[in-house]
Amino acid sequence: MNSMLRSARTLATTASRSSVLRRGYSSESVPDRKVAILGAAGGIGQPLSLLMKLNPLVTGYFGDDQLGKALEGADVVIIPAGVPRKPGMTRDDLFNINAGIVKGLCLAIAKYCPHALVNMISNPVNSTVPIAAEVFKKAGTYDEKRLFGVTTLDVVRAKTFYAGKAKVPVAGVNVPVVGGHAGVTILPLFSQATPNANVSEEEIVALTKRTQDGGTEVVEAKAGKGSATLSMAYAGALFADACLKGLNGVPDVVECTFVQSNVTDLPFFASKVRLGKNGVDEVLGLGPLSDFEKEGLEKLKPELLSSIEKGVNFANK
Ligand SMILES: NC(=O)c1ccc[n+]([C@@H]2O[C@H](COP(=O)([O-])OP(=O)(O)OC[C@H]3O[C@@H](n4cnc5c(N)ncnc54)[C@H](O)[C@@H]3O)[C@@H](O)[C@H]2O)c1
Ligand SMILES: O=C(O)C[C@H](O)C(=O)O
């Protein structure tokens, strides 16, 4: 525990009423919010902390290196703590190191802020989210509405790649991404992309592969210096902002995220989720899938299930 406290780099931020008012919400209905970032010194953590401080819902202060103090009273905890990939590694190759890091941090969350929304960024997300769930279950604090695997980066990539191919401005594009967060478990639903542009089936196959391999592309380009950082910080800030808006009662906040789910026969699955005052308000269905997407859905299930089970087994051993 002591070494974990010493190695834990934490940043805590809180929302101020006056900054929230600049957004135009009712002063009666918007409580102060505290956001803790665990792993704030890292490649993702540093820019993510800065972005969270720019968020008009949040004003920031640095906590000390006491994990408990940073976590106490947190409404949202974002976890980008752990090692990133090097070329040639899969996300699952990070399991041996990151599973223990995540388990330790989740024990602290259960102790100091059991009601916080947890945004899990640390890889392998397909396993770290089930690990967190098991830790919280054992501590008696689990609430499936409050645990999220952050897959926003897959959506950012799918949107960017689609906009490029469709020659439309990326700002107006939306593409749901479902499944999980590793290789074939990442399933972008380009058949539901808006605006509906004229993109051929061959191009959809190529865009799907590029979205699935987007993280690996970055890992290879960085040639040993880690994985995506700035784009993940941006995606993480978008997701945390959505969580804060949901908590504050903003209606119709919908993001794709990896959560406990009944959408398929797998216990955890990423899909569109409506965020609300208690975290998950509603896990939305997949909508109509193309034959290619139906095939992709069946293909991803064995790998995703095995990663989920690996996380559950680790947490219970
Ligand atoms: N979900 C996603 O889409 C996504 C995207 C990019 C990266 N990631 C993952 O995010 C993680 C972090 O990536 P990075 O590039 O920021 O790595 P990094 O090595 O730059 O930073 C990780 C930070 O975690 C800290 N850390 C380690 N153990 C800790 C502990 N017990 N408590 C608190 N902090 C601890 C380290 O000191 C370091 O500062 C990796 O696992 C990476 O695979 C996920
Ligand atoms: O690819 C990685 O290892 C990091 C992250 O999961 C990503 O998608 O960029």
Summarised one tens digit per residue, pLDDT across range 126-173 is: 999 999 999 999 999 999 999 999 999 999 999 999 999 999 999 999
pLDDT band at 66 (very low <50, low <70, confident <90, very high): confident
Query: pLDDT value at position 21?
Result: 26
pTM: 0.93
Whether the per-residue pLDDT at 232 is higher than 60: the answer is yes
Q: Is 192 within 8 Å of 293 (Cβ atoms)?
A: no
Q: Which two tokens stand for residue 40?
A: 């704030």
Angstrom distance (rounded) from CA 242 to CA 274: 10
Question: What single-letter amino acid sits at 212?
Answer: Q
Ligand nearest to the CA of 235: 1
Cis amide prior to 195 (ω within 30 degrees): yes
Largest CA distance in the chain: 57
The closest alpha carbon to 108, from 63, 75, 136, 68, belongs to 68
Question: Residue 25 pLDDT more than 90?
Answer: no
- For the chain, the first-to-last Cα distance in angstroms comes to 19
Nearest-CA residue for atom 33 of ligand 1:
8
Ligand 1 atom nearest to CA at 45: 16
Q: What digits encode the pLDDT tens for the residues 69-120? A: 889 999 999 999 999 999 999 999 999 999 999 999 999 999 999 999 999 9
Ligand 2 lined by 123 (C-beta under 6 Å)? yes
28 CB neighbour count, 10 Å cutoff: 6
Query: Using CA atoms, how far apart are residues 302 and 305, in angstroms rounded to an integer?
Result: 5
* Active-site residue, 115 included: no
Burial of 24 (0-12, 13-18, 19+ CB in 10 A): exposed
DSSP strand pairing (147-150 vs 34-38): unpaired
CA distance linking residue 254 with residue 239, whole number of Å: 10
Residues 135/315, Cβ–Cβ less than 8 Å: yes
Residue 7: is its pLDDT beyond 70? no
Among residues 34, 146, 165, 181, which one is catalytic?
Answer: 181
Q: Is the CB of 139 under 6 A from ligand 1?
A: no
Given pLDDT bands bounded at 50, 70 and 90, which one contains residue 58? confident
Q: Burial of 274 by CB count in 10 Å (0-12 exposed, 13-18 middle, 19+ buried)?
A: middle
**6: pLDDT confidence band, cut at 50, 70 and 90?**
very low
DSSP-based three-state secondary structure for 214:
helix
What's the CA gap between 54 and 41, in Å, rounded?
A: 17
pLDDT mean across residues, the chain? 90
- What one-character-per-residue DSSP string does 89-124 give? --GGGGHHHHHHHHHHHHHHHHHH-TTSEEEE-SS-
Tell me how far the alpha carbon of residue 242 lies from the centroid of ligand 2, in angstroms: 21
Tokens of 176: 């749901």
Whether the pLDDT of residue 23 is over 70: the answer is no
- Contact assessment for residue 254 and residue 194, using Cβ atoms and an 8 Å cutoff: no
Res. 267 pLDDT band, cuts 50 70 90 = very high
The per-residue pLDDT for 1 is 25
* 67 pLDDT more than 80: yes
Query: Residue 59: its pLDDT value, please?
Result: 81
Kindly report the backbone phi and psi dihedral angles of residue 106, in degrees, each rounded to the nearest multiple of 5, phi listed first: -70, -35
Atom from ligand 2 closest to the CA of residue 231 = 9
